[in-house]
Amino acid sequence: MLQAIGLTSSPHRDLPPTVADLTFEAGPGRVTALLGAPGSGKTTALRLMLELEPGRGVTYFRGRPLHRIGHPPREVGVLLGDVPGHPSRTARGQLRMLCAAAGVPASRADDVLEVVGLAGLGDQRIGTLSVGMDRRLGLASALLGDPHTLVLDEPADGLSPREASWLYGLLRAHAAKGGTVLHTTSDPKEAARTADRVVTIDEGRLVADQDVADFSRTRLRPRVAVRTPQAARLAAVVGREARAARRSVEVVAEESCRLSVYGSSCAEIGDTAFRHGVPVHQLADEVGDAGPPAASGTDAGQRPDSSVALSELPPPIPVRPARGPLRPLRYELRRLFGVRTTTMIMAAVLVVSAGLSVLLARSGGTPLPKLLGAWPALLPLPPAALGAGLLGALSFGDEFRYPALAAGRGTVPRRIGLLLAKLVVSAGVGLLLAALVVLADAQVLRLLYGGDLVKVPSNAVPLAASWAGLTVGCAWAGLLAAGVFRVTGAGIAAVLAVPVLVVPLVQKVLAGPSARSVTGLPGRLRELTWLEWPYEADRWLLGVVKVVAQPVGAALSLSLSALICAYVITSLRGRARW
């Protein structure tokens, strides 16, 4: 049971609300059509129900509002517009990623692909799907969690009659199992053909709430469609004979050569045309739209005067934060490796690093750490750090560009679980990329110049820690900046700002001689915290401090601290609006 009570959208400037005091029900085991002309507020009503748009009122899904439901994808399946998936992702990959978000097994993706008729097209990329296939994929996404309620906005838009018939048959089968189906449409004949109950709205207000039989009787009526080159003459003749016979016949001129005749039949119109010598090119029985039923008062769809305020407004509908994935780590891994972008970036970094390493070794004079990291003095950062930063920026950048977690909202949920998953995965990918670059460069140098050039230095452990910290720090800087500014380019800019802007600033601050030393820091920490740890750990603690004290390490620490603060502030500000 879906119950929408007092839905009222927030007005824009001095305009009246798009949806005003809309109340209706969609019962279980039935298909309910929300009927209205384009611009009547159907989509806004759905967004109010799903708490995607601010306003007033409440919608109960089996007695609970959406934000009180623990696992919304298992209760409500939604299709608003097109599937907002990455065009390079396959249909199966998109659904498996959403399976991790909904907390259902990955095998569910193949099950719903079979149901919607895309079993043989699971490996086809979303960007190559036709309109019909895209709608089928959207319906598969809505069915992933096996929801009780389906909320669909113009599900047959752009489909052929055969595809539309299949889609409505699937919705009918869902309702037959006890589910609730609510879909919008602007075609009265389609509503009468596909629904059990029709809710008609006009200018955001309820016009009628009827069973399909009552709707068809009061809203639709038969007509005769006539196409003739002498439409004006035939209309005059039919009207004159109807008045002479005292019959109620209405003739409507729809086009230059087409008439719609209400209150007559094909035989009568054909006989009249034959008697008066009017050629007829088409003569057929159809079902026409009688328009919105007339009624009185505001319940009939008449908008009240804008100066009259609504009394006892229902409670406000805040824009709720979208829920993060139930399995965030699995979701993030499928998001990252579900497209070829990740492997292409890593392959490009390896190739460029190997080439730079060979050129640096050929010219000579480059220290071994810079040689293995392929970090010439001309570059602000090595390719590995830039690649890690780009992958980190894409972690949030792709989410905002292709919002799979918040379709129809255009934002990404900032849940702590999703953020931690992105931090862990981006750090792991950064470390993997850093290790692969060093190994690849060492093998290339050994192959071209012999093994004498590549030897393990005595300070290999601090160097490895610095190298790992650089790549992970760049990955996190890109990730957090893209999350704050909601665009991939901001993440890349934040990574480049570390060596270009922050490092020179830190170098100026640390350029002068220091009158104090950090010697004895481990002992002071032990006294301060009353914790006892092995004295062998003091050497590791001092090593970490020395790494952070380097200009690049200090710059990265400063940048990450600023980005974390900005991320927290923007998240709290967004929740204050909610």
Out of 30-39, 190-199, 242-251, 532-541, pick the least confident: 532-541
pLDDT of residue 535: 55
For 462, residues 6+ apart whose C-beta sits below 8 A from its C-beta are 543, 546, 547
- Taking residues 277-294, report their average pLDDT: 75
- Taking residues 551-578, report their average pLDDT: 69
Q: Work out the percent of the chain whose per-residue pLDDT is above 90.
A: 49
User: Which of the two residues, 560 and 169, has the higher pLDDT score?
Assistant: 169
Out of 350-359, 389-398, 416-425, 563-572, pick the least confident: 563-572
| Annotated domain spans of the chain | 2-217+299-312, 219-289, 328-577
User: Which of the two residues, 523 and 577, has the higher pLDDT score?
Assistant: 523
H helix or E strand, kind and range, residue 151: strand 149-152
User: Residue 409 pLDDT > 80, yes or no?
Assistant: no
Q: How far apart are CA 318 and CA 306, in angstroms?
A: 24
Tokens of 370: 């810079």
User: Residue 529 pLDDT > 60, yes or no?
Assistant: no
pLDDT of residue 52: 87
pLDDT of residue 571: 73
User: Residue 393 pLDDT > 50, yes or no?
Assistant: yes
pLDDT of residue 339: 92
Q: How far apart are CA 449 and CA 358, in angstroms?
A: 9
* pLDDT level of residue 228 (50, 70, 90 thresholds): very high
* 521 Cα distance to chain centroid: 49
pLDDT of residue 363: 84
- Taking residues 269-290, report their average pLDDT: 86
pLDDT of residue 295: 42
**Partners of residue 315 on adjacent β-strands:** none
The highest-confidence range among 293-297, 392-396, 520-524, by mean pLDDT, is 392-396
* pLDDT level of residue 499 (50, 70, 90 thresholds): confident
* 534 Cα distance to chain centroid: 50
pLDDT of residue 515: 47
Name the burial class of residue 542, with classes exposed (0-12), middle (13-18) and buried (19+) by CB atoms within 10 angstroms of its CB. middle
- Taking residues 338-343, report their average pLDDT: 93
* Choices 3.30.360.10, 3.30.70.980, 2.40.340.10, 3.50.50.60: CATH for 219-289: 3.30.70.980
User: Residue 523 pLDDT > 80, yes or no?
Assistant: no
User: Residue 301 pLDDT > 60, yes or no?
Assistant: no
User: Which of the two residues, 433 and 539, has the higher pLDDT score?
Assistant: 433
User: Which of the two residues, 81 and 233, has the higher pLDDT score?
Assistant: 233
- Taking residues 538-552, report their average pLDDT: 54
- Answer whether 2-217+299-312 and 219-289 agree in fold: no
Q: List the Cα angle 281/286/289 in 5-degree steps.
A: 125
User: Residue 250 pLDDT > 90, yes or no?
Assistant: no
Q: How far apart are CA 553 and CA 566, in angstroms?
A: 20
Q: Work out the percent of the chain whose per-residue pLDDT is above 70.
A: 83
Q: List the Cα angle 272/275/277 in 5-degree steps.
A: 105
pLDDT of residue 390: 96
pLDDT of residue 300: 35
pLDDT of residue 292: 52
User: Residue 404 pLDDT > 60, yes or no?
Assistant: yes
H helix or E strand, kind and range, residue 55: strand 55-61
Contact 204, 40 (CB under 8 A): yes
What angle in degrees, to the nearest 10, is found between the helix axes of 460-485 and 537-549? 50
pLDDT of residue 407: 61
pLDDT of residue 577: 44
User: Residue 533 pLDDT > 60, yes or no?
Assistant: no
pLDDT of residue 308: 38
In the CATH hierarchy, which fold is given to the domain comprising 2-217+299-312? Answer: Rossmann fold (3.40.50)
pLDDT of residue 234: 93
pLDDT of residue 12: 79
3-class state of residue 325 by DSSP: coil
Q: Give the count of beta carbons closer than 10 Å to the beta carbon of residue 514.
A: 8
- Taking residues 113-133, report their average pLDDT: 91
Mean pLDDT in the chain? Answer: 84
Q: What is the pLDDT of residues 343-391, one digit of tens each?
A: 999 999 999 999 999 999 888 888 888 889 998 888 888 999 999 999 9
User: Residue 204 pLDDT > 70, yes or no?
Assistant: yes
User: Residue 518 pLDDT > 80, yes or no?
Assistant: no
DSSP symbol at 310: P
pLDDT of residue 568: 81
For 515, residues 6+ apart whose C-beta sits below 8 A from its C-beta are none
